[in-house]
Structure 1
Amino acid sequence: MMQTVHTSSHNGITSLWLDRDGLCTGTLIFGVGMRDEPSALAGITHLVEHVLLRLVQPAAVVHGGTVTTDSLQFYAVGKPEDVAGFLNAIAVAVSTFEAVTDEVIALEKSVLEAEDPHKFSTVSSGFQHCLQRLIDLPVRNERRGRRTFRGTGHDRSDQS
Structure 2
Amino acid sequence: MCGRYSLISELAFLQAEIDFEFYEEISPRYNISPGQDILAVGYNNGRRVGSYLRWGLVPFWAKDEKVGFKLINARMESIDEKPSFRQAFQSRRCLIVSDGYYEWKKTEGGKRPFRFVMKDRKPFAFAGLYEVWKKEDGTQPLGNMHHYYHER
Instruction: Give the TM-score band, short-chain normalised.
Output: under 0.3
State the structure with bigger RCO (CA 8 A, min sep 6), 1 or 2.
Answer: 2
**Bigger CA radius of gyration:** 1
TM-score using structure 2 length: 0.21
Higher helix share: 1
Give the TM-score normalised by the residue count of structure 1. 0.20
